[in-house]
Chain A
Amino acid sequence: MSLLLYLLRRLLQALPVILLIIVGSFLLIKLAPGDTVDALVGDMGGADPAFVARLRQEYGLDQPVLVQLWRYLVKLAQLDLGWSYVYEQPVTQVLASRLWVTLLLMLGALSSAFVVGVALGAFAARRAYSAADNIISTLGLVFYAMPSFFLALLLVLLFSVKLNWLPVGGIRDIGAFHTGWRLWLDIATHLLMPTLALSLIYLAFYMRLMRTSVLEVMDLDFVRTARAKGAGSSRLMFHHIMRNALLPVITLLGLQISTVLGGSVVIETIFSLPGLGQLAYTSVVKRDLNTLMGIIFLCSIIVVVVNILTDLVYAWLDPRIELK
């Protein structure tokens, strides 16, 4: 019961935060020079003044900013995200067609990075300063330092252009018209390289953090006590050390899951994946206000939810932390 009350209170507290984010981002976007009609005219290579004025009126851009903001908020209150004038579709439809791609990519990359990173980090810490630790730490440093676009292009060059094993980009083989499990296999092959490129970078984060965290916990009193009580080395590692060492790693995971919907602009662009990151980028360039606001709205909700979940996981991992 108290948990339910806690959740309810946290969600209520989140409402003004989301409202603030929406109003703030709306005004911020409006500060950028030019609007979507300018971007469109730039794309077309020009248009006469009557054409431009008619489009502005059509899109409601001839109104004062505050009127536009009010209209947007009224629509949003009815859960209507509006119309994208760049894609000529409702924003919900634009977002829905991109959401699953980004979710597959980001969750795949994050979960594999988390699992492998935590395992490698703990392993490296246990054998600190051995040859194995040095190799793992050096590789981690290399992936950490390597820009993601460079790693991605190297992968494309090797696996697509030279070896011809994997497709260059896209989410599926368009001319093949696969259905059923063949379609899913096709999507998996298309996602392999982008997921790998992205997870190698995340992996480095988790590994380094986990290694430091485990090293720190290993020297604490309760570990010495457990060892004195005669706990075996694997029980000591999994039950006593790792559980406590995970706290900072969970914080990082929470932070990164919050950004999942933002996607990875770089990876999505290089692999031409129709995801939310790429969408956000083009929406800024084309000043597609409604789409951009839709993405921001979705992201703010995710941030709020993930924050609450992170707090719950804290409490579960460390009983000393109370939910208030």
Chain B
Amino acid sequence: MRKTHGGLMLGACIAALSAATVAQQAAAQQAEPKRGGTVFVHMNTEQGVLNPALRASTGVYQITGRFMEPLIDKTYDGYVGVLATEWSSSEDGKAITFKLRDGVRWHDGEAFSCDDVAFSAMELWKPLLNYSSTLQANLESVDCPDPLTAVFNYSEPMPLDLIVAAMPDLGHPVPRHLYEGTDILKNPHNQAPVGTGPFKFQEYERGQYIIGVRNDDYWRGPEYPYLDRVIWRFIPDKAAGAAALEAGELHESGFNGISMADLERLGKDPRFDMGTQGFENNVAHSTVEFNLRNPILADLKVRQAIYHGLDLDFAINTIMRGFAKPGHGPIPSVGGANYTDDVPVYEYDVEKAKALLDEAGYPVGPDGIRFKLRHRPAPWGEYTQLWGEYFAQAMKEIGIQVDLVTNDAPGFLNGVYRDHDFDTANGWHQFRSDPAVSTTVWLRSGAPVGTAWSNQFGYESAEMDGLIDAAAEELDPAKRADLYHQIQRLAMTDLPVIFAIEHPFVGITNKKLINHHNTPRWDSSSWYDLWIDE
């Protein structure tokens, strides 16, 4: 009970903090924006490919978001058109029409038109872009009845909700005139992007920095963007990143770029805004994943017992410092209509866990142990490493010995997804706006062995597969949502994986920046209205 209290208080404290942030921002917004200045952004890892139409990952968007714009973006007021202005679906759902924005020019001066969209969709989004190739598998052609209208033709019905939700991440056109007739994967513009965004790419010095400069010909008008330059600095060491923020050499670090301890410490410094605002679209689950090929774990009672043995409030408050909440299955609470909390839950109850294990036929042995598990914690950073260690401790309480097998990223992905050489694993599953983009593939059977973030559990359920397939083609939003609610309930009943905790990323920003984190995917967006008060 005491712990729950602590959680509530911390939650209230965070709410108060973010209210203060919003108030401050509102006050600043009334001030007249200043033109000019350079913003320095922290990056942990290098990006070899700077083309969001070839690599769907936040590390890429964090940079290319300034240069290249999607057809549609997500704001706190819902989906708004960027390069598209309107979208609609035909009656049978097999044709999706986008009206494109007039008067947009690429950074090299050429006009943006439907030709670019059609080329990008057929040559990049469908065959080459991760996740998008599944989404666009049924895309047959893109017609351009006029230069500002693009019609996507599908062989099977495509829900409009799904394609719209996917567009902010998976809908970046590239300039056709620079890519057509070239080897797309080796095109030099993959490292020197040409887009339509408020900033133009200038220079990429590997291992050091990327410089973007103001686009004077931006379609939103000559007043935008306010900044002269955006510079990204690659600082892999988290402690060094924190020191650079503190010394004023960096203005922003997103996606947990520095350690939670430093985020908490600098968050108390009046010079910084710290929190999850602006990351709502990038919610991930910390998970516990079972290998159902292990006869012990194939027993549902054992999996339920493990769920009951996890003190989620404790983990949320110590590992994520309160910036998280318990999960309710594969779809996080930011999933909109497709999310439901009407699912079976497994509250923290050590006695119940022990009773379930006894019932399943695994009594405590003479050494105090019921059975052993080989556990692989994913190396995706601070949360996954600590969550793996917590899991091992929590299991000890209910008599399960967990041996941790640590490895780097290639080792983990091979061990878990290809070789299935694990009993349990813990990792990280990111939600990408709509469950059909990358969530349901995790629960559906039939993916080739070795595919990362596909069904590594050995979970096969005809009911689950049927629900997933039906939802992917359901056009009626209400029926679609209902199917996803059923999927969540089934996942929480069968428990091939525990979606234990959901958390957005945490970021830290120098308060000199005004209009920061004002959209739910701000670090991936264009920053046309960002300005610096100095």
Those of A16-46 within 8 Å (CB) of chain B: 32-36, 38-39, 41-46
- Quick one: which of B56, B131, B235 contacts A169, CB cutoff 8 A? B235
Q: Does B524 contact A (CB under 8 A)?
A: no
The tally of residues in B whose CB lies under 8 Å from a CB in A reads 60
Asked if A272 and B48 sit within 8 Å, CB to CB, the answer is: no
Residues of A within 8 A of B249 (CB): 167-168
Residues of B within 8 A of A168 (CB): 240, 243-244, 247, 249
Those of A128-169 within 8 Å (CB) of chain B: 153, 156-157, 160-161, 164, 167-169
Q: CA–CA, A50 to B411, complex, Å?
A: 21
Q: CA–CA, A87 to B208, complex, Å?
A: 12
- Quick one: which of A42, A44, A86, A282 contacts B236, CB cutoff 8 A? A282
- Quick one: which of B40, B407, B441 contacts A33, CB cutoff 8 A? B407
Asked if B48 and A48 sit within 8 Å, CB to CB, the answer is: no
B305 nearest CB across to chain A (Å): 30
B113 nearest CB across to chain A (Å): 28
- Quick one: which of B46, B229, B448 contacts A87, CB cutoff 8 A? B46
Q: Does A269 contact B (CB under 8 A)?
A: yes
**Given A49-B447, A161-B246, are A274 and B208 neighbors across the interface (CB < 8 Å)?**
yes
Residues of B within 8 A of A50 (CB): 133
Q: Does A174 contact B (CB under 8 A)?
A: yes
Q: Does A114 contact B (CB under 8 A)?
A: no
A233 nearest CB across to chain B (Å): 48
- Quick one: which of A34, A35, A46, A274 contacts B207, CB cutoff 8 A? A274
B2 nearest CB across to chain A (Å): 36
Max chain A CB contacts within 10 Å: which of B46, B205, B452? B452
Q: Does B119 contact A (CB under 8 A)?
A: no
- Quick one: which of B134, B207, B452 contacts A279, CB cutoff 8 A? B207
Q: CA–CA, A211 to B56, complex, Å?
A: 59
Residues of A within 8 A of B229 (CB): 175
Residues of B within 8 A of A45 (CB): 57-58, 430, 438, 453
Q: Does A52 contact B (CB under 8 A)?
A: yes
Asked if B206 and A42 sit within 8 Å, CB to CB, the answer is: no
Chain A: interface size category: 35 or more
Q: Does B15 contact A (CB under 8 A)?
A: no
Taking Cβ atoms with an 8 Å cutoff, the residues of A that contact B are: 32-36, 38-39, 41-52, 54, 58, 84-89, 94, 97-98, 153, 156-157, 160-161, 164, 167-171, 174-175, 269-272, 274, 278-279, 282, 285, 287
Residues of B within 8 A of A171 (CB): 208
* 16 new A-B contacts at CB < 8 Å, known A153-B239, A168-B240: A33-B411, A34-B409, A34-B410, A38-B410, A39-B408, A41-B130, A41-B413, A42-B410, A45-B438, A46-B438, A51-B130, A58-B185, A160-B247, A170-B209, A174-B211, A174-B231
**Given A45-B57, A285-B408, are A174 and B415 neighbors across the interface (CB < 8 Å)?**
no
Q: CA–CA, A52 to B410, complex, Å?
A: 13
Max chain A CB contacts within 10 Å: which of B46, B59, B130? B130
**Given A46-B130, A51-B133, are A34 and B411 neighbors across the interface (CB < 8 Å)?**
yes
Nearest 10 interchain pairs by C-beta: A34-B410, A274-B207, A47-B130, A42-B409, A46-B453, A38-B410, A44-B57, A33-B411, A88-B48, A168-B244
Per-residue CB contact flags for chain B residues 245-286 toward chain A (1 = under 8 Å, else 0) read: 011010000000000000000000000000000000000000
Residues of B within 8 A of A169 (CB): 235, 240, 243-244
Residues of A within 8 A of B246 (CB): 161
Asked if A89 and B448 sit within 8 Å, CB to CB, the answer is: no
Residues of A within 8 A of B410 (CB): 32-36, 38-39, 42, 287
B524 nearest CB across to chain A (Å): 13
Asked if B409 and A269 sit within 8 Å, CB to CB, the answer is: no
Asked if A271 and B243 sit within 8 Å, CB to CB, the answer is: no
Asked if B191 and A88 sit within 8 Å, CB to CB, the answer is: yes
Q: Does B326 contact A (CB under 8 A)?
A: no
- Quick one: which of A97, A164, A269, A282 contacts B240, CB cutoff 8 A? A269
Across the two chains, which residue of chain A brings its CB closest to B38? A175
Per-residue CB contact flags for chain B residues 506-525 toward chain A (1 = under 8 Å, else 0) read: 00000000000000000000
Q: CA–CA, A291 to B57, complex, Å?
A: 23
Residues of B within 8 A of A270 (CB): 237, 239-240
Across the two chains, which residue of chain A brings its CB closest to B60? A44
**Given A38-B409, A98-B207, A272-B240, are A46 and B131 neighbors across the interface (CB < 8 Å)?**
yes
B376 nearest CB across to chain A (Å): 11
Residues of B within 8 A of A48 (CB): 130-131, 133-134, 441, 451
Q: Does B412 contact A (CB under 8 A)?
A: yes
A197 nearest CB across to chain B (Å): 13
Q: CA–CA, A287 to B246, complex, Å?
A: 33
Q: CA–CA, A43 to B272, complex, Å?
A: 28
A-B pairs with beta carbons under 8 Å apart, 20 shown: A33-B407, A33-B410, A41-B413, A49-B448, A49-B454, A51-B129, A84-B48, A86-B48, A161-B243, A168-B240, A168-B247, A170-B209, A170-B233, A174-B208, A270-B237, A272-B233, A272-B237, A272-B240, A274-B208, A274-B234
Residues of A within 8 A of B207 (CB): 97-98, 274, 278-279
A56 nearest CB across to chain B (Å): 11
Q: Does B215 contact A (CB under 8 A)?
A: no
B240 nearest CB across to chain A (Å): 5
Per-residue CB contact flags for chain B residues 103-146 toward chain A (1 = under 8 Å, else 0) read: 00000000000000000000000001111011000000000000
Across the two chains, which residue of chain B brings its CB closest to A54? B128
Those of B460-474 within 8 Å (CB) of chain A: none
Across the two chains, which residue of chain B brings its CB closest to A284? B408
Q: Does B45 contact A (CB under 8 A)?
A: yes
B444 nearest CB across to chain A (Å): 12
Residues of A within 8 A of B236 (CB): 269, 272, 278, 282
Q: CA–CA, A169 to B238, complex, Å?
A: 12
B281 nearest CB across to chain A (Å): 14
Across the two chains, which residue of chain B brings its CB closest to A101? B207
Residues of A within 8 A of B129 (CB): 51
Residues of A within 8 A of B413 (CB): 34, 38, 41-42
A311 nearest CB across to chain B (Å): 36
Q: CA–CA, A35 to B450, complex, Å?
A: 13
Q: Does B55 contact A (CB under 8 A)?
A: yes
Q: Does B414 contact A (CB under 8 A)?
A: yes
Q: CA–CA, A18 to B49, complex, Å?
A: 33
Across the two chains, which residue of chain A brings its CB closest to B408? A285
Q: CA–CA, A224 to B408, complex, Å?
A: 60
Q: Does B64 contact A (CB under 8 A)?
A: no
Max chain B CB contacts within 10 Å: which of A88, A94, A287? A88
Residues of B within 8 A of A174 (CB): 40, 208-209, 211, 231, 233
Across the two chains, which residue of chain B brings its CB closest to A97? B206
Q: CA–CA, A287 to B48, complex, Å?
A: 14
Asked if A97 and B38 sit within 8 Å, CB to CB, the answer is: no
Q: Does B338 contact A (CB under 8 A)?
A: no
Across the two chains, which residue of chain B brings its CB closest to A271? B240
Asked if A161 and B247 sit within 8 Å, CB to CB, the answer is: yes
Residues of A within 8 A of B233 (CB): 170, 174, 272
Q: Does B304 contact A (CB under 8 A)?
A: no
Asked if A43 and B206 sit within 8 Å, CB to CB, the answer is: no
Q: CA–CA, A38 to B452, complex, Å?
A: 8
